Amino acid sequence: MPKILVVGDLMMDHYIWGSCERISPEAPVQVVLKNSESKRLGGCGNVISNLIALGADTGVISVLGDDETGRQISKLLDECGAKSELVLKERGRKSSQKSRIIVSHQQVLRLDTESVQEITLSDEIIAKFPQILKNYDIVLLSDYAKGVLSQHLCTQIIKITKDASKMVLVDPKGKDYSKYWGATLLTPNRKEASQALNRVLKDDESIKWALKQLKERYGLKYGLITLSEQGIGLYDGRDFSQYEALAKEVFDVTGAGDSVLATLGYCLADGFSISQAIQTANLAAAVVVGKVGSADASWSEINALKSSKNGFLRKIITQNELKHIKNGKKIIFTNGCFDILHFGHISYLEKAKNLGDILVVGLNTDRSIKALKGEQRPINSQNDRAAMLAALECVDFVVLFDDDTPLNLIKELQPDILVKGADYAGKSVVGAEFAGEVRLIEFIEGKSTTNLIKKIQNEC
């Protein structure tokens, strides 16, 4: 297991999920009815979450404010399994929080609370850094320009890490990259590289020029630029290479850069070549941009995407993989046969998704459906039913279960909300004791697989 040390700006990503049905009479703005909210690690915390999802042993160095947000960030670090090697509290500093309001999976507003002045605790970090570094294979610097990674701190961390013959990877910020001199590589995107080098990068020749400039101007081992849908460009001192991104619809680019940094760091620490590391990072980015908000990519998702041209099939996971999907997110679970997918199903699943961050659907196998409904069912095979559910935008994961009830699945997942149909009102719900709460959702009258089958039989 790679041991990776992350140094950078920790933040709180605060999401408020709601719905909107009217415009305010006070001003031309949406009136949002809050359905739920969640808090997760942001900033370099998103790099940490990605590393944890990949299975890395992850340590953290950062500085927070001595405030409630800072205490919540520290708690989230503990809960996700990261080791707070040196997370200092600075009096008078505001811990960073980004509050986002999401309506129908679209961000409509962001409110930031933060301090951006340089920290006053750099010397304390530098003094303790060599001893901490002994326990790690590689260092990742995640710079969000909030004051932690000052010129002095970056210079010293890179020097100490190189002297220890270890790699240091940097996600840079700002126009002046001089403080990153001597790092193994930087991961700017096209726009960031353009600003740093003061030249518009619009074609292959200008990108090659930029890759070479980054490597030579800042004493890097590799020149690297992320190019969005065009993938990642690399200059290793001899050759220029471009690694194509996986062609897929981009839903939300939030956190994709963090996923690239984390995956590159994990792979290089684990002995991958730079070419293998970049190809894997491209896959991780493809997973992440298909999700809402800051997200991470697990090895199961990366491998599924690698082996399938149909990216949505990555959503079909095994029960053993459930433990990798939570990471502080609000999990919604529901289950069913979903034999002939119809509008009633889609409406029900959309409403369930709006209750939280991740919707997991437990799907009865063919055997369990026969036990419940008779030998004539299901109409569609379990693989077809799983693929159709996975193709829905509102469904994040599909898990097949062969038991007569989803009890073991719910026990393993421990969802925040267990969703059932409104016909369960007043009834005992299987697995309720392992869920945070049970929510009931109304079905659309007349919409059911049984009714569809009867209609087809009557018309034949």
289 and 319 assigned to the same domain: no
Domain count, the chain: 2
Residue 443: is its pLDDT beyond 80? no
268 and 329 assigned to the same domain: no
Residue 350: is its pLDDT beyond 90? yes
Q: Report pLDDT digits (tens) over 75-113.
A: 999 999 999 999 999 999 999 999 999 897 788 899 999
Last residue of a domain, one of 283, 309, 335: 309
Residue-level pLDDT at 251:
42
Q: Report pLDDT digits (tens) over 116-170.
A: 999 999 999 999 999 999 999 999 999 999 999 999 999 999 999 999 999 999 9
C-alpha distance across the termini of the chain, in Å: 60
Last residue of a domain, one of 259, 283, 309: 309
Is 445 strand, coil or helix?
coil
378 and 282 assigned to the same domain: no
331 and 257 assigned to the same domain: no
Q: Which residue has the higher pLDDT, 63 or 447?
A: 63
CATH code of the domain containing 430? 3.40.50.620
Residue 305: is its pLDDT beyond 80? no
Residue 456: is its pLDDT beyond 90? no
Cis status of the peptide bond prior to 415, with omega within 30 of 0: no
Give the pLDDT band of residue 1 (cuts 50, 70, 90). confident
Vertex 377 angle, CA 371 and 381, to 5°: 105
265 and 409 assigned to the same domain: no
CATH code of the domain containing 223? 3.40.1190.20
Distances (CA, A) of 29 to 16, 18, 33, 289, 365: 16, 14, 13, 28, 46
300 and 321 assigned to the same domain: no
Q: Binding site: residue ranges?
A: 189-192
Of 85-89, 349-353, 372-376, 442-446, the range with the lowest mean pLDDT is: 442-446
129 and 179 assigned to the same domain: yes
285 and 360 assigned to the same domain: no
Residue 449 structural domain = 314-459
Mean of pLDDT over the chain: 88
Residue-level pLDDT at 404:
87
Q: Which of 13, 57, 137, 258 is catalytic?
A: 258
Active site residue 258: yes
95 and 8 assigned to the same domain: yes
Cα–Cα distance measured from residue 455 to residue 66, given in angstroms and rounded to the nearest whole number: 65
76 and 191 assigned to the same domain: yes
Give the pLDDT band of residue 250 (cuts 50, 70, 90). very low
303 and 318 assigned to the same domain: no
- pLDDT mean over 325-342: 84
167 and 280 assigned to the same domain: yes
Last residue of a domain, one of 274, 309, 344: 309
Answer whether 427's CB lies under 8 Å from 337's CB.
Answer: no
pTM for this prediction = 0.66
Q: In the numeric block, which tokens belong to residue 457?
A: 């039989």
Answer whether 387's CB lies under 8 Å from 316's CB.
Answer: yes
